[in-house]
């Protein structure tokens, strides 16, 4: 089965913007003890490229939070699946998120991190749908309220490996669902 997605952001545009973000973060965090926190799974591709564009010594830790069950609609409840391994007290934390949509997961992550007494917390988001009052310090791209996949973001676990960001419309969701249902047999 072949799925054709409308390309929203090309790999070239992504690379250019991540280099710009990396330079700005390098300037802003110069001489600080920087700890990158990347929520899994969606942010891992963005985080991987971003940290390589930051010209500072830094550490990385991961947590996994989820507000989606297995589809495209938020459940409205965020659960911690994997917590951090590093102590973040007195560290300058940069939370790296793939997408700022409803803000529920990001707000929960920021609250959890704030309760652990870091020196500072900043937020970088790859994509911002501008639907919430949360204002990131760093934004890759602002997008419309469409369901997007690729570059780490998924639908039912698929499409994370795309090198670009594409729009997954209802027809492609239905095709993906049909493919997955056939695989269960």
Active site residues: 101
First to last CA, the chain: 16
Strands 120-128 and 58-68: unpaired
Helix (H) or strand (E) holding 45: helix 44-52
Number of Cβ within a 10 Å radius of residue 142: 11
Q: How far apart are CA 89 and CA 184, in angstroms?
A: 46
């Amino acid at each position: 089965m072949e799925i054709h997605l409308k390309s929203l952001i090309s790999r070239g545009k992504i690379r250019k913007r991540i280099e710009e973000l990396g330079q700005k973060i390098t300037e802003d965090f110069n001489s600080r003890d920087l700890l990158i926190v990347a929520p899994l799974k969606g942010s891992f591709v963005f985080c991987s490229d971003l940290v390589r564009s930051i010209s500072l010594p830094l550490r990385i830790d991961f947590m996994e939070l989820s507000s989606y069950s297995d589809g495209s609609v938020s459940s409205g409840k965020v659960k911690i699946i994997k917590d951090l391994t590093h102590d973040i007290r007195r560290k300058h934390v940069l939370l790296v998120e793939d997408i700022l949509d409803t803000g529920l997961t990001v707000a929960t992550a920021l609250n959890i991190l704030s309760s652990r007494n870091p020196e500072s917390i900043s937020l970088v988001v790859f994509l911002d749908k501008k639907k919430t009052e949360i204002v990131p310090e760093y934004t890759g791209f602002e997008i419309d309220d469409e369901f997007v996949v690729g570059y780490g973001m998924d639908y039912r676990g698929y499409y994370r490996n795309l090198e670009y960001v594409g729009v997954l419309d209802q027809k492609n969701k239905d095709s993906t669902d049909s493919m997955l249902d056939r695989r269960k047999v």
